Amino acid sequence: MKIFTGNQIREVDKYTIEQEPIRPIDLMERAARAVTHVVMETLSEGCHVVVFAGPGNNGGDALAVARMLAEQNVSVSVYLFNVSNKLTEECAINKQRLHDCKRVKSFTEVTQQFDTPQLDAGTVVIDGLFGTGLNKPLAGGFASLVKYINQSPAKVISIDVPSGLMTENNTYNILANIIRADMTLTFQFKKLAFMFADMQQFIGDLRILDIRLNQSFIARAQTQFSILEENDVRRFLLPRGDFAHKGSVGNALLIAGSYGMAGASVLAARACLRSGVGRVTIHTPRRNYDIMQTAVPEAVMQMDREETYFSEAVDSEDYDAVGIGPGLGVAETTAIALIAQLRRSQVPIVVDADALNILANHRAWMQQLPKGMIMTPHPKEFDRLNGSPCSDDYERLIKARDMAQNLQLYILLKGHYSALCLPNGEVVFNSTGNSGMATAGSGDVLTGMITALLARGYKQKEACELGMYLHGLAGDLAARDLGKESLIASDIIAYLPKAFKRLND
């Protein structure tokens, strides 16, 4: 699924109107019917609906919804804010249609001051003040109205976007002046702002409503942002031939673990083995030998010369991919060994966890990283790589995208919607995963999986996409059976076979 900017969405609307063809007012009617259908499903018997409509097309949608609700005998009060005495053509038409309907409980056109209605727990607010065209923070009376709505116990349903929320960048927005919706009914596409954790407080339960915008235009349109879905990953799954053997399906090397952190290497190794690779070798300090040999008997052990930490780069010529970082520690000797390993490895490489922390402590080394390398930071790890904290998730994503492009790396920024930033400047969001996966070791599992997929023969982009999708899908399957609260990283590994089977079936 593509993610379009506000300007691109208006282009899709325009093209649909011209090519279907359909009048703008009729497209608005189509959208309003879709909203009304969902609203009717959520209303309890006897509740009162208060509609707040702005002067633009989002307000036109809200007026049409108010009319359709009234026609179904819902008690509706409408407030149309026309403080500049300038409505869009479609909003004006829907204002007249609402007057002609004569079934709404009350209609107030606000041109100056107005008395705010009582919003109690039995009230449902339809928010149609501002849509995707907003380009500056709300202020004045609109900001006061938003705060009044947010402080009320009423249930709030926003049309397309919560009023005050900009579709992409909210770094300089005034967060107190954004509607906190209980439900957002958005048209056709998720908006970029919906993908960020710090914006979820405004969105609530998100529903995407298909209003039948022109599919051929959508298919042709270019966009930097997209969402990975099941059919996308199915298209590039590698078949496993009936005569495959361990030498033909990849040889992976994991450099992981320090004394006291053997668990990270165990998780990465088990995930690697469960992800289809033929052979896994673990390079780890000597004191981890007994633990690793017992916990992961299927793996080959390669012991570092040091007892407690990774101390020297190893020959990776015989391997198809290298994963490095889980539980590695950040000793200076380990740091020197890490950069040596990165410089000399000629195969695809995944860098995570302490390997990222080492690079953050030696940022001058960033320019020496091999092209095509994969990094899998969580937000705090990325901020350390960046050299300073990011003010919000949008800024972090843009800086990760720019870093991936400038250094020609793959940066998988982990989160609820993990974002894969590609060397060409594109960003792919993952659609699987849940909050139960916010648990220690989850990232180590992902590192092992992507390393295995690289060794298996997937290119970097496909390995990252398949890895993050399967990682989230295994977590979703585990949460369905076990619940989110008790989910641990080992559960994700345990459900990988079911995740693979679902894709292969």
Claim to verify: residue 206 and residue 256 sit in the same structural domain: no
Q: Which of 167, 188, 223 is the last residue of a domain?
A: 223
Give me the mean pLDDT over the 435-458 stretch.
98
Confidence label for 102 from pLDDT (cuts 50, 70 and 90): confident
Claim to verify: residue 176 and residue 93 sit in the same structural domain: yes
Claim to verify: residue 183 and residue 268 sit in the same structural domain: no
Model confidence at 13: pLDDT above 90? yes
Give me the mean pLDDT over the 95-117 stretch.
93
Q: How many domains does the structure of the chain reveal?
A: 2
Question: 195-228 burial, b if ≥16 CB within 10 A, otherwise e?
Answer: bbeebeebbbeeeebebebbeebbeeeeeebbbb
Give me the mean pLDDT over the 467-475 stretch.
98
User: How far apart (Å, rounded) are the C-alpha atoms in residues 131 and 13?
Assistant: 14
Q: Express each pLDDT in 51-76 by its tens digit.
A: 999 999 999 999 999 999 999 999 99
Contacts of 200 (CB under 8 A, 6+ apart): none
pLDDT number for residue 490: 98
Claim to verify: residue 265 and residue 179 sit in the same structural domain: no
Cβ 211 vs Cβ 27: under 8 Å? yes
Q: Which of 223, 258, 283 is the last residue of a domain?
A: 223
Claim to verify: residue 162 and residue 78 sit in the same structural domain: yes
User: How far apart (Å, rounded) are the C-alpha atoms in residues 51 and 60?
Assistant: 11
DSSP string, 352-375: -THHHHHHHHTGGGGGGSPTT-EE
Contacts of 234 (CB under 8 A, 6+ apart): 503
Claim to verify: residue 137 and residue 97 sit in the same structural domain: yes
Give me the mean pLDDT over the 320-330 stretch.
98
Cβ 424 vs Cβ 405: under 8 Å? yes
pLDDT number for residue 113: 85
Which CATH number is 489's domain given? 3.40.1190.20
Q: Express each pLDDT in 240-287 by its tens digit.
A: 999 999 999 999 999 999 999 999 999 999 999 999 999 999 999 999
Domain extent, residue 163, equals: 2-223
385: nearest Cα among 415, 354, 408: 354
Claim to verify: residue 286 and residue 317 sit in the same structural domain: yes
Q: Express each pLDDT in 14-41 by its tens digit.
A: 999 999 999 999 999 999 999 999 999 9
Confidence label for 137 from pLDDT (cuts 50, 70 and 90): very high
Claim to verify: residue 294 and residue 206 sit in the same structural domain: no
pLDDT number for residue 300: 97
pLDDT number for residue 78: 98
Claim to verify: residue 128 and residue 143 sit in the same structural domain: yes
Claim to verify: residue 201 and residue 253 sit in the same structural domain: no
Which CATH number is 30's domain given? 3.40.50.10260
Claim to verify: residue 150 and residue 280 sit in the same structural domain: no
Cβ 34 vs Cβ 209: under 8 Å? yes
* Per-chain mean pLDDT for the chain: 97
What would the two tokens of residue 474 be?
């295994």
Give me the mean pLDDT over the 483-496 stretch.
98
Model confidence at 46: pLDDT above 90? no
Claim to verify: residue 210 and residue 234 sit in the same structural domain: no
What share of the chain in percent tops pLDDT 90? Answer: 98
Handedness of CA 119, 120, 123, 125 (dihedral sign): positive
- pTM, two decimals, is 0.96
Confidence label for 161 from pLDDT (cuts 50, 70 and 90): very high
